[in-house]
Amino acid sequence: MTLYPPNQLKRLLAERMPALGYWLSTNSLMVTEIAAGAGWDWLLLDMEHALHDVESVERHVLAASHAGTSTELAVRIPSVDPVLVKRLLDAGVRSFMFPYVQTVEEARLAVASTRYPPAGIRGFSGSTRANHYGKDKSYLETYADNICVIIQIETPQAVANIPAFGAIDGVDAMLIGPNDLAANLGHLGDNRHPEVMATIEAAGRAMIATGKAAGFLFFDERAPLLIDQGFTLAAVAGDIHMLSTTMAAQLKTPALRSACRSSRR
């Protein structure tokens, strides 16, 4: 007996197939459930810049699973924190994004935190949601097949270490954080700067050359261009961005504005 279907995100990345993702930052269970049922390949629940604790993440895991689809819920944790990873694994999370990974040691620790000894340092519990409270007798032999580890590339040092990251067994993908990378290149708030975009494209080529999946986070016209270049872990939309842009666009609808002007005369 297993609680979850196979990790479709991990399989898409291994097959170098595009995986379209939706970024969740509002801490709304309703939004998570709707997004999980909308057809996205993966969702990203953000613990780094949104207000989440282990208990709220657990609720989102259940909300996503309630949609009854193969959409994978990944969690971006605030840092490389093996204790937090252990608790989230037990709660049923299988896919993790580790931000601001700069060194090989940090990348290896990220992987080790998701594996039991001797492959890693994950603490053991025989009765958790992850193993269906002890009912999944195959869990210890098969769990690693469904663990997905994504590390974020956000500094020039991390870009330089891409070949070394790619040699680490257990790293499934590397995703560029464009805003932090821009800041660390001296272009705070300007991820469209030519140096930033050139660095992103060069980093993508380096990732692809390692055999690992290359990822990005852009909610604009650059997304399809990067997919055409071989990026496959594609975060292309998000709840806050969609709400704010749709609200503003709706207010600017010509028919509505014309009707309001007529009624106010």
pLDDT over 50 at 61, yes or no: yes
Eight-class DSSP state of 69: S
Q: Is 241 annotated as catalytic? A: no
Domains of the chain and any CATH numbers: 8-263 (3.20.20.60)
Q: What is the average pLDDT across 32-47?
A: 97
The confidence score (pLDDT) of residue 3 equals 62
pLDDT over 80 at 262, yes or no: no
Residue ranges of the alpha helices (H) in the chain?
8-14, 29-36, 54-66, 82-91, 104-112, 139-142, 156-160, 162-166, 178-184, 194-210, 222-228, 239-251, 254-263
CA distance 4 to 91: 12
Q: Write the pLDDT tens digit of every residue in 131-160.
A: 999 999 999 999 999 999 999 999 999 999
Indicate the range of 56-60, 64-68, 99-103 predicted with least confidence. Answer: 64-68
The confidence score (pLDDT) of residue 211 equals 97
CA distance 91 to 89: 5
Q: What is the average pLDDT across 43-60?
A: 96
CA distance 135 to 144: 17
**In the predicted model, what is the mean pLDDT of the chain?**
95
Which of 49, 132, 187, 193 is the catalytic position? 49
The confidence score (pLDDT) of residue 265 equals 66
Q: Write the pLDDT tens digit of every residue in 206-255.
A: 999 999 999 999 999 999 999 999 999 999 999 999 999 999 898 888 88
The confidence score (pLDDT) of residue 1 equals 44
Provide the b/e sequence for 65-85 (b: ≥16 CB within 10 Å).
bebeebbbbbbbbeebbbebb
**pTM of this structure:** 0.94
Q: Write the pLDDT tens digit of every residue in 80-116.
A: 999 999 999 999 999 999 999 999 999 999 999 999 9
